[in-house]
Amino acid sequence: MAKKWRSQMLNWVTKTMEIPPDVMMDLPRITMVGQIHIYIENHRGLLTFTDQELRLLLKQGQLLIKGEGFVIKTILPEEILLEGKIEAVLYIEQ
């Protein structure tokens, strides 16, 4: 019950104050440029990286990116820029 009330309250505050939902609800922001770049903000850490897979921890769940030829161009505490051929972006609930 408390979780539902909190979610409704966050939605109301977001709409009323015109704050982007990703900021208010602590969601990741994902920006893709075609199949070659993906920029992810507001993640909780890198779990796995190979030239074919990147897995990030989120506040709720994980983000899995699959493809080939992956290279991390930029990595900061809550941001990452990945280059390569991106074939799939999957959200994994925990």
Confidence of residue 10 (pLDDT cuts 50, 70, 90): low
In a domain, 33, yes or no: yes
User: What is the structure's pLDDT at 70?
Assistant: 98
Work out the average pLDDT over 7-30.
Answer: 67
Confidence of residue 5 (pLDDT cuts 50, 70, 90): confident
SS3 of residue 5 by DSSP = helix
Taking residue 45's Cβ as centre, other Cβ atoms within 10 Å add up to 11
Domain extent for 69: 26-92
In a domain, 15, yes or no: no
In a domain, 19, yes or no: no
CATH number, domain containing residue 87: 2.60.40.2000
| pLDDT tens figures, 14-24 | 666 665 555 55
| Number of independent structural domains in the chain | 1
| pLDDT tens figures, 32-80 | 999 999 999 999 999 999 999 999 999 889 999 999 999 999 999 999 9
Side by side, the strands of the sheet bearing 29-33 are 29-33, 37-41, 79-92, 62-76, 53-57, 45-49
